[in-house]
A and B are shown apart, each in its own frame.
Chain A
Amino acid sequence: GIQVEQSPPDLILQEGANSTLRCNFSDSVNNLQWFHQNPWGQLINLFYIPSGTKQNGRLSATTVATERYSLLYISSSQTTDSGVYFCAGANTGNQFYFGTGTSLTVIP
């Protein structure tokens, strides 16, 4: 299967700070998503981004498929951004491989 490496594993930010989360894949993927897991365990889809750049409010993501990595940018972080961020990728079929996540804590 595909190995997915996420960095950093943990991140503590002051409210208002910016951050970049990274995801590296051991093999090429043609499906890639970023998720935020809320305190109740639900995985919220942030971006479906097999390639290119997308933005949604304070969040944006860039995937460079040829180099097998993706970045998630969080600007002007808020305490509600706290939680665990996962990236996941798939190359054939619909079996996604997940990274181990980045645990983000935003302090006021």
Chain B
Amino acid sequence: KAGVTQTPRYLIKTRGQQVTLSCSPISGHRSVSWYQQTPGQGLQFLFEYFSETQRNKGNFPGRFSGRQFSNSRSEMNVSTLELGDSALYLCASSSTSYGYTFGSGTRLTVV
């Protein structure tokens, strides 16, 4: 069974640009959650999608958005990038019995 796939693995963007990250969950998992990891703030919850609906949202500005498609694949978008958005972005899919399974992450660097 394939794991959670995140693309791209690495990304370098310039301040003010926007970026889209992709996450394909484990087959059969309908819940996809996104986290941001930085050295200063640790792992922080961005949002969760379930059956194409945002079910939960963390405390991030509106520049951070996401969506989920009918095949459960999810994307997150960050607009008007700031230097502080440099982070490892992790996606997890989950089932009720086994909790989260994370992808390898996308390391975003904003210059």
Docked complex: B50-103 residues within 8 A CB-CB of A:
50, 55-56, 58, 88, 90, 92, 94, 97-103
Given contacts A93-B48, A93-B56, A95-B48, contact A41 B107 (CB under 8 A): yes
Which of B42, B100, B105 has a CB less than 8 Å from the CB of A45? Answer: B100
A42 touching B45, Cβ below 8 Å: no
Which of A33, A44, A99 has a CB less than 8 Å from the CB of B99? Answer: A33
**Most chain A CB atoms below 10 A, which of B31, B100, B101, B107:** B100
Chain B binding surface, main DSSP class: strand
Assembly CA distance A43 to B88 (angstroms):
11
Q: Is B24 an interface residue (CB 8 A)?
A: no
Which of A43, A86, A95 has a CB less than 8 Å from the CB of B56? Answer: A95
A-B contact list, 26 entries, CB within 8 Å: A31-B99, A35-B102, A40-B104, A41-B88, A41-B90, A41-B105, A42-B103, A42-B105, A43-B100, A44-B102, A45-B100, A45-B101, A45-B102, A48-B97, A48-B98, A93-B48, A93-B55, A94-B48, A94-B50, A94-B56, A95-B58, A96-B45, A96-B100, A98-B42, A98-B43, A99-B42
